[in-house]
Amino acid sequence: MDPGEEPPSMLWGLDPIFSAFARLFVSDILQMTESTQVPGIYFYNWHPIYKVDVLGTVVYKRERDDFFCYGVDDGTGVINCLCWKSNLLKEEEDPRTSGAAHSDAALGGFNPVAELKKLRQNQQKRCRLEIGELLRVRGRVKTSRQQREIMASTFYKVDDPMMAVQIAWMMEVPQLYRQFYDKRFQLDAAGSAESSLCKATNLIKDFLKQRLVTKFRPYDVQDLLQPLIAARLQTTATEQEPVAGPSGRQQLSHLLKEVLQVLQNDGVVYRKVKSQDEVYHVTLQDKDLFIAVKDVIREDSRREKYAESGCHVLHILSAVRQRYSLNLTKAALELVLKTLECDSDIVSTSDSHYVAL
């Protein structure tokens, strides 16, 4: 990758792969280019990566006082993995303790020292691998003496006699490549598109809250989004891109449609009656809706069936739809229930059951 095309470091956090242990093939880890801005950060297809997750066979090993060096082969290449020893692996066994453990065990009693010894032995078996055994390593990528290696934060032996783990791994990793790694992350485009929708949504929310709007039509609020469309068109003109694509009016209509869909998904607004005349009701300002919800919970809470556990949210939704509006969404109802509970009009007996006070 050309250093001039490297995305700014302040935008790396926008890529979700940056915070994850990337399950890359060893051959790709060895070929990744290192960042010119921050040493220790590498790029695969414009994705910033500094920690990886590898599963492979041990093809060589070296042991030192403080660490193991394992060569891990996943079928595409071999990479050196530096695995630090834990304190338990460094401790020397006390012969007197070992003898006491055997004597107590012979008597059939529970000896915590003997059990601790078993745990230590199991850990040693997991950490001390032989050539040909399967190892999983997670850690940071590092370049030392012009060779790429992994500084392991977690490593352990994988018991896989039927090769079920390896088969599952080799089926999952190509899917990750197709869905994420091989798709170039467009930081600027994705960031600007998401920012425009967030700004537009917040503009409409603030307007509805400040003006205490009870209901509105799309053309009542579309002018609020006009400055965002104008700024977008101005940016496009400054970049001197070819004039193609939707016009400003079409972009405004599309953005408004997206904002209204987001508001409906969040339960902020809903359509009481679906007709050609698009009228959106603001959930928290619909006093009649609050009264209908409270009446349903109050009446049904008196019934023996709901007296103890309370009314389920789906039962409340069905009853309010029959009584008030067939188009009421679950998200809008949950927003009303949350507000009523904060006002101490109702109380939740579980995550999805409510009774009236």
Residue range 220-233: mean pLDDT, rounded: 83
Do 286-356 and 187-283 have the same topology in CATH? yes
Residue 6 pLDDT: 76
Digit-coded pLDDT (tens) for 140-178:
999 988 899 999 999 989 999 999 999 999 999 999 999
For 352, the token pair is: 């999805």
Residue 232 pLDDT: 66
Residue 93's pLDDT band (boundaries 50, 70, 90)?
Answer: very low
Residue 23 pLDDT: 96
Residue 9 pLDDT: 82
Digit-coded pLDDT (tens) for 266-275:
999 999 998 8
Residue 275 pLDDT: 85
* H runs (alpha helix) in the chain: 26-31, 87-90, 95-106, 112-127, 164-176, 187-211, 218-221, 226-238, 248-265, 287-301, 304-307, 313-323, 330-342
Residue range 292-309: mean pLDDT, rounded: 89
Report helix, strand and coil shares of the chain as percent, to nearest 5.
50, 20, 30
For 30, the token pair is: 């060895």
Residue 294 pLDDT: 94
C-alpha atoms less than 13 angstroms from C-alpha of 217 in its C-beta half-sphere: 5
Residue 259 pLDDT: 92
CA pair distance 66, 57, nearest whole angstrom? 22
Query: Residue 62 CA to chain centroid, in angstroms?
Result: 37
What's the mean pLDDT when you consider all of the chain?
A: 84
**CATH for 286-356 (1.10.10.10, 1.10.150.670, 3.90.850.10, 1.10.20.60):** 1.10.10.10
Sign for the CA dihedral angle at 284, 288, 294, 296 comes to negative
Query: Residue 330 CA to chain centroid, in angstroms?
Result: 24
Residue 194's pLDDT band (boundaries 50, 70, 90)?
Answer: low
pLDDT beyond 80 at 132: yes
Q: Tell me the domain boundaries of the chain.
A: 3-181, 187-283, 286-356
Residue 306 pLDDT: 84
Sign for the CA dihedral angle at 26, 28, 30, 33 comes to negative
C-alpha atoms less than 13 angstroms from C-alpha of 113 in its C-beta half-sphere: 13
CA pair distance 223, 217, nearest whole angstrom? 12
CATH architecture of 3-181: Beta Barrel (2.40)
pLDDT beyond 60 at 95: no
For 157, the token pair is: 């032996």
**Would you list the DSSP string of 224-267?**
GGHHHHHHHHHHHHHTT--S-S--HHHHHHHHHHHHHHHHHHTT
CATH architecture of 187-283: Orthogonal Bundle (1.10)
Could you tell me the CA-to-CA distances from 256 to 105, 195, 322 in Å, in that order? Answer: 75, 14, 30
User: With b meaning 16 or more CB within 10 Å and e meaning fewer, what string describes 307-331?
Assistant: eeebbebebbbebbeeebbeebbeb
**Nearest-CA neighbor of 31 among 177, 190, 143?**
143
Its pTM surpasses 0.85: no
Residue 124 DSSP SS3: helix
CA pair distance 205, 189, nearest whole angstrom? 24
Residue 330 pLDDT: 93
Residue range 337-341: mean pLDDT, rounded: 92
Digit-coded pLDDT (tens) for 236-253:
554 444 444 456 788 888
Share of the chain above pLDDT 90, in %: 52
Residue range 331-356: mean pLDDT, rounded: 90
Residue 21 pLDDT: 96
The highest-confidence range among 129-143, 175-189, 194-208, by mean pLDDT, is 129-143
CA pair distance 29, 23, nearest whole angstrom? 10
Residue 71's pLDDT band (boundaries 50, 70, 90)?
Answer: very high
Residue 94 pLDDT: 46
Residue range 315-325: mean pLDDT, rounded: 94
How many residues belong to the chain?
357
CA pair distance 158, 233, nearest whole angstrom? 56
